[in-house]
Amino acid sequence: MITPIQQKIRDKTITALKWSAMVKDGDWILPGTVGGDSTACVEELGPRLDEGPGQVKGIELWPQVRPVPMYNILLQGEDKYKYLTLQTQVLYNI
C-alpha cells in the first residue's frame, strides 16, 4: 500500500528525458547530492550540448565532487567543451 507521502513523491517524479528537455541555455545545474545519482539525467543532457534548435550551450555543472565518469558521459569524446563548464565545489569541515 502506498502512503500519501509516497504518492506525492511519485506525482512529482519525471524522467531523465523530460528533465533534459527542461534545461535552457546558461542554466547552472547541481547534479546529484550525497546519496543521489544523476547519471541518467547527465546521459540525456550530453547529446543536447551543441548549437541549433533544441540544443543548449553555456551550461554550468556544479557537482559536489569531481566525477570523472561525468566527462565521458556528457561529452562522449566530442568537442562539446565549448558548450559546458564543469565546476568543482570544495567542501570543508571546519
Residues 19-35: pLDDT tens digits?
Answer: 899 999 999 888 766 55
pTM for the model stands at: 0.67
More confident call, 18 vs 66:
18
66 Cβ neighbours under 8 A, 6+ residues apart = 86, 88
- The answer to whether the CB of 64 falls within 8 A of the CB of 32 is yes
- Per-residue confidence (pLDDT) for residue 22, from 0 to 100: 94
- pLDDT at residue 30 in the model: 80
> pLDDT tens digits, residue range 34-47?
556 677 888 888 88
